[in-house]
Amino acid sequence: GKTLRASGFHAPVCGEVDSFADSLIAIDENGVIEAVHRPGEPDYDKALRAATDGGALVDLPDGAILLPGFVDLHIHAPQYPQLGNALDVPLEVWLQSHTFPLEARYADLAFARRSYTVLVDDLLASGTTTAVYYGTIHDEANRLLADLCIEKGQRAFVGKVAMDNPAECPDYYRDKSVDAALKATAGLIEHIRGHPDNEDSLVRPIVTPRFIPSCTDDLLAELGALAKDHDCHTQTHCSESDWEHGYVIDRHGMSDTESLDRFGLLRAGTVLAHGNFLSASDMEVIEVRQSAVAHCPLSNIYFSDAVFPLKAALRKGLRVGLGTDISGGPSASMFDSVRSTVSSARQLERGTDPSLGRDERSTQGDVRIDFREAFHLATAGGGAAVGLPVGAFAPGFQFDAIMIDPEAVSGTIRLWPDLYEGDQVLQTILFTASRANIALVWVGGQHRSGTPDRQ
Ligand code: GUN
Ligand code: FE
C-alpha cells in the first residue's frame, strides 16, 4: 500500500462540498482506501510517521488538487466517431440517418479496435474513471470493448445493445431473433465475468435493451428474466423525447417506467438515461425499485424537447448521476456535464418566454442546481446510482481520483486564491478546467493516465 498526502475536494453528500488540506489517504494493495487522516486529528502524526518510515508516503506536487474521478453513467461507445456531428435532426431521424449506419460498422473488428482504443484512452485522460457503456449488437466488438477497459484499467459496465424490432430497426442493424439477442447478451456476461484479468470485477456486464421502440415485448420480457437469473445490472433509455414518450404510450398504453417495470427491467442499480418526461408517479416507482436516472443535460438540449426536472427527482430521493450520452451530447468531458447540469436548471428556472416579467417567469419554484450538487452527481452520486463504492475519499471506497494541475501550461484554469472564500477554488476548477489540467488519473489506486514522474 501507499499513503498520499493531498489537498482537494469531494462531495459524499449531495449539496455539500468537503475540502481537505494535507490529508493522508492510506490506500491498500487492492486500491481501496483504508483510512483518511486530517491534520489535527489524533492519529495524524502517527499515520504520517508510519508512512514516512515505511517509505510509503507520496506527496502530491504543491498546488495540485485532488478530486474523485468522474462516473459517466451514459456513453454510447460506438458513437465516438460522430462526437460533435449530426445534432441537427430529431432523435428518431438521427438514429436512422446517422447512428445506426455508424454502429453497423462495428461488424468490422479493425474499425472497432481503432475507435474503442482512442475512446477509452480519451475518457481516462478526461478523468472518467467509471464508464457505463452501450456497445453495439456485435459480439466481437463488444468483447473487445470490455477487453480494452480491462487492459487500460478503466472501471466500466459494458452492454451488448439488444434491438430486434423490425418495425423500428433496419435490416442491416438488428438482432435477427429474440434468441440471438439473448444468447449474445449471456455470452458477453460470461466473457466479462470469466475474463482472467478482470480482477475484482473492474469491468461488469450490463443488460442493455436499447429502448422500448427498438425491442419486441418478447425480448424485453426475456431480458428482464435474464438480468434476474444472472444477477446483472440493466440500462436503457427512458422517457427521453416527446416522440419516444408518445410512442410507448401508443404501443403499451403506459409510460416507459411502468412498462419497463412489468418486464422486470427496473432493478437496483438500473440506469435509465434521460427521464425528461417522467411523471411524479414514475419517479416513485423508480425510487422504490432503487433504479437510477442518468441525467444527460447536454444531449437533452438537442434531443429531449424538455428539461429534466432534476431538483424534483432529487427531492423525491431518486438516485441520479450524470452522463455525457456520447454522441447525443457533443462533449466527452464530464466537466461539460457538470456545467450543463447547472445551466440547464437555470434555464428551467427562468423559462424562455421573454414576454413575461422576471417574477412571472420564475414559475418553476426552486429548481436551481448549484456546482456543489452537480459535482456530487458527477462523482459519488453516479457511484451510488450503480451501487459502487466510488466517488468519495472515505474508508472502503476505491481510490479512483484525478489530480488537477491548475498551472498546467496549456490548461485553462486561473486561480485567484487571495480573492477567494470557501470552496471558490472548486467552483473555478469545475467551470474552467480543460483536459490539459488533468495531470494524473488513478483507478483502483493505479495510475491510468498522465505521467506520474512529477510526484
Ligand atoms: N434512444 C435510442 N437510442 C439512442 C441513442 O443512441 N442515443 C440517444 N440519445 N437516445 C437513444
Ligand atoms: Fe443515449
Q: What is the mean pLDDT of the chain?
A: 96
Compute, in angstroms, the gap from residue 36 CA to the centroid of ligand 2.
Answer: 37
Give distance in angstroms: CA of 256 to centre of ligand 1.
14
Is 246 a residue whose pLDDT tops 90?
yes
Residue 454 CA to ligand 2 center (angstroms) comes to 38
Q: Express each pLDDT in 188-208 by its tens digit.
A: 999 999 999 999 999 999 999
Q: How remote is the CA of residue 61 from the centroid of ligand 2, in Å?
A: 38
Q: Is 159 exposed, middle or buried (0-12, 13-18, 19+ CB in 10 A)?
A: buried
CB of 329 shorter than 6 A to ligand 1: no
Better-predicted residue by pLDDT, 413 or 352: 413
Alpha carbon distance 430, 296 (integer Å):
17
* pTM for this entry: 0.98
What proportion of the chain, given as a percentage, has pLDDT over 70? 98
Atom of ligand 1 nearest to the CA of 214: 2
Ligand 1, atom 7: closest residue by C-alpha: 328
Pocket test for ligand 1, best of 82, 92, 169, 210 (most atoms within 8 A of CB): 210
* pLDDT above 70 (res 444): yes
Q: Could you give the C-alpha distances from 107 to 98, 104, 142, in angstroms and in order?
A: 16, 6, 10
> Given this model, what pLDDT does residue 362 score?
61
Superfamily of domain 70-385: Metal-dependent hydrolases (3.20.20.140)
Ligand 1 near 237 CB (within 6 A): yes
Q: In this structure, what C-alpha cell is assigned to residue 3?
A: 499513503
pLDDT tens string 54-81 = 999 999 999 999 999 999 999 999 999 9
CA neighbor of 218 nearest in space, from 255, 269, 166, 171: 166
Residues 88-116, mean pLDDT to the nearest whole number: 98
ipTM, 2 decimals?
0.99
Q: Tell me if 349 CB under 6 Å of ligand 1.
A: no
Please name the residue that has the C-alpha cell 439477442.
Answer: 181
Q: Tell me, using a 6 A CB cutoff, whether residue 259 lines ligand 1.
A: no
- Per-residue b/e over 130-142, b at no fewer than 16 CB within 10 Å? bbbbbbbbbbebb
| Ligand 1 contacts CB of residue 173 (under 6 A) | no
The alpha helices in 253-294, defined as continuous H runs, are: 256-262, 280-288
Taking a C-beta distance cutoff of 8 angstroms, is the pair 24, 39 a contact?
Answer: no
Question: Atom of ligand 1 at shortest distance to CA of 99?
Answer: 6
CATH architecture designation of domain 2-68+391-454: Roll (2.30)
List pLDDT tens digits, range 322-336.
999 999 999 999 999
Q: How confident is the model at residue 364 (pLDDT cuts 50, 70, 90)?
A: low
CA distance 255 to 276: 12
The per-residue DSSP string of 210-237 comes to --GGGS-HHHHHHHHHHHHHTT-EEEEE
> Residue 99 gets which letter from DSSP?
I
pLDDT at 363: 58
pLDDT in the model for residue 348? 87
Residues 6 or more apart from 267 whose CB is under 8 A from it?
Answer: 227, 228, 233, 234, 289, 290, 291
Ion ligand 2 residues within 5 Å by Cβ? 273, 325
**Structure confidence by residue, pLDDT tens digits, 373-408:** 999 999 999 999 999 999 999 999 999 999 999 999
455 pLDDT exceeds 90?
Answer: no
Q: Is the CB of 282 under 6 A from ligand 1?
A: no
Ligand 1 within 6 A of 325 CB? Answer: yes
Closest CA to ligand 1's atom 9: 328
Tell me the per-residue pLDDT of 111-158, one tens digit each, with 9 for 90 and over: 999 999 999 999 999 999 999 999 999 999 999 999 999 999 999 999
Say how many Å lie between the CA of residue 144 and the centre of ligand 2: 21
Grid cell in block for residue 288 = 422504490
Quote the pLDDT of residue 354. 74
- Sequence-distant (6+) residues with CB within 8 A of 278 are 238, 239, 255, 257, 286, 293, 309, 313
pLDDT of residue 453: 67
Domain regions of the chain by residue span: 2-68+391-454, 70-385
pLDDT at 365: 78
